[in-house]
């Protein structure tokens, strides 16, 4: 296990869906205690960082300076994890 307490990291790509992103991050945090929750903000220019810090403080936000697409954002998020297992989760899942 990683130092965070779980071998799993969930990468959620965010682009202008703050309600859905917070909901997805909350679901992972609640159902998988210790799992890393990485939210990649795909240059959405909204208040996702503030919303997550209030609603899901364990989530980590990685900001992309441009919206390079879903795949690039997934790769950026994967690079920010430490666990051997990744879950790529759409915010509207």
Confidence of residue 93 (pLDDT cuts 50, 70, 90): confident
CA 72/CA 77 separation, integer angstroms: 9
- Angle subtended at Cα 26 by Cα 53 and Cα 70, rounded to the nearest 5 degrees: 85
Coil, strand or helix at 88? strand
pLDDT digits (tens, 9 = 90+) for 5-63: 679 999 999 999 999 999 999 999 999 999 999 999 999 999 999 999 999 999 999 99
Confidence of residue 1 (pLDDT cuts 50, 70, 90): very low
| pLDDT score, position 11 | 98
Confidence of residue 71 (pLDDT cuts 50, 70, 90): very high
């Amino acid at each position: 296990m990683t130092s965070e307490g779980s071998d799993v990291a969930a990468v959620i790509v965010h682009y202008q869906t703050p309600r859905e992103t917070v909901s997805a991050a909350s679901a992972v945090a609640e159902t998988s205690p210790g799992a890393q929750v990485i939210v990649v903000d795909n240059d959405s220019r909204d208040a996702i960082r503030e919303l997550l810090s209030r609603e899901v403080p364990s989530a980590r936000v990685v900001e992309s300076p441009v919206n390079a697409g879903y795949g690039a954002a997934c790769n950026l998020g994967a690079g920010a994890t430490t666990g051997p297992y990744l879950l790529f989760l759409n915010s509207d899942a």
